[in-house]
Amino acid sequence: MSEIWTVQRVTDRFHEAAVTARRLPPARVQGYAAFWPDINRQAWEGYADERIVLRFAASPGAIDRFGETVRWLQWLGEEQRRLIWLRAQYVPWREVCTRTGLVRKTAWRRWQHALNLVTVHLNGALPRIVSPDT
């Protein structure tokens, strides 16, 4: 593996995974089939319809990276996963603290620690500290 992972690259990848997860179609049960004919509405009747949510489809490369990124979460604990995923969705720190029950500084430190754990796993070895006199 020639590429070196940094905390910023890992953070960017988690954010991309969160965006890709929102672009994927929702997982739901197929439901029942109806054999009624479709209703042909007039143009003016469309104004009363429910809001239609348009989503941009995720690219195949983004879906592959999403699968790889989600597998990284197996290296983390439950609280670390929540912190990583909340921050990947750009949830504000106040909301993160409310959901996790942590103080902001503690939440930030644990988030940084989780990112460092993922970075160390991806690089395959512990970071080496080189003294300036060697």
Regarding whether 96 and 70 lie in a shared domain, the answer is no
Closest among 78, 73, 94 to 18, alpha carbons compared: 73
Amino acid identity of 23?
R
87 and 122 housed in the same domain: yes
Tens of pLDDT, residue by residue over 70-129, are 999 999 999 999 999 999 999 999 999 999 999 999 999 999 999 999 999 998 876 566
Total number of domains constituting the chain: 2
Euclidean distance between CA atoms 53 and 83, whole angstroms: 28
Q: Please check whether residue 114 lies inside any domain of the structure.
A: yes
What pLDDT, on a 0 to 100 scale, did the predictor assign at position 131?
61
Instruction: Determine the pLDDT at residue 28.
Output: 73
Maximum pairwise Cα distance, the chain = 81
The pLDDT tens digits of the residues spanning 103-119 come to 999 999 999 999 999 99
Q: Where are the alpha helices (DSSP H) in the chain?
A: 7-23, 60-72, 78-88, 93-100, 104-123
Residues 71 and 99 in one domain: no
Residue 102 in domain? yes
**Containing structural domain, residue 84:** 79-127
Q: What is the DSSP secondary structure assignment for residue 73, as one 8-state letter?
A: G
Q: What would the pLDDT profile of 15-65 be if each residue is shown by its tens digit?
A: 999 999 988 887 777 777 677 777 777 777 766 666 666 678 888 999 999
- The number of beta carbons lying within 10 Å of the beta carbon of residue 46 is 9
Rounded CA gap, 85 and 77, in Å? 12
The separation between CA 103 and the C-alpha centre of its own chain, rounded to angstroms, equals: 22
Kindly state whether residues 116 and 91 are assigned to the same domain: yes
Whether residues 20 and 71 share a domain: the answer is: yes
Q: In the chain, what is the straight-line distance between the N-terminal and C-terminal CA atoms, in Å?
A: 26
